[in-house]
Amino acid sequence: MKDDKDPFVMIAREIGISPADAEFATCRFLKWLSRSILNYDEGNRDFIGEELHWILNRATFYHLLGLFDEFSDRYTWEMGSAKEYLLRIAPSDEWPNYMDEATVIPKPEASKIAASMIHVCSLAKDTRHEIDLVVCMLNSRLYARMIVSEGILIDCPEPPKIDYVPLAPADLVGIMGLDAYAMLLRIEKLSRNQDCIVTAEEKSKWQDRVCHPYA
């Protein structure tokens, strides 16, 4: 029952991320929106009317305006009203300095994330590489684990390379049924601008994409 009332658990299930990531992303969006409205000094200083509708997709913009309408209908709100609600949570000296907090939470060590992977199933295997589906026990995310054998790394003396590319459930639909090489190329494409983990020479590091130097 508690999970049904937790929006971050629901969001996590729908898009394939952890509840902590869902809450963190929501918090970051609200913080960004608040600062953008406060700091916007162009035109009529109307960030929502002049800029926001170009940034958000239509569905998100409609839901946000709907929230504002419902809020306006149910609440009489003036500057400082937030204090009344915050005091119900904790004394003012316990309030976080949320406007000055770090904008990015440091990532955990890549090696710790890689070491926490649990095998789910095999997705593809050929003489050059194998691809498995794994889940991370630390952040509950799905990853494609790609193991590239030493023999196919052209002019490269390094030992086998292991890549972890995060996947959303929708990504699996696009790769299931592909042959091993086509699947590899698809996952490489999905890896762009993602928090991937690359392990070579027994050292793991974060990387924003993966790439395999062979034809």
pLDDT for the residue 154: 53
Those residues of the chain that have pLDDT short of 70 are 1-4, 96-106, 149-160, 213-215
Residues paired with residue 154 on neighbouring β-strands, in sequence order: none
pLDDT for the residue 51: 92
Residues paired with residue 145 on neighbouring β-strands, in sequence order: 132, 164
pLDDT for the residue 159: 59
Q: Mind listing the pLDDT tens digit for each residue in 146-180?
A: 987 655 445 555 556 899 999 988 888 889 989 99
pLDDT for the residue 8: 87
Residue 176 φ/ψ region, left for φ over 0, alpha for ψ in the -120 to 50 degree band, beta for the rest: beta
pLDDT for the residue 149: 67
Query: Tokens 């937030």 identify what position?
Result: 82
Q: For the chain, what are the domain ranges?
A: 2-94, 110-207
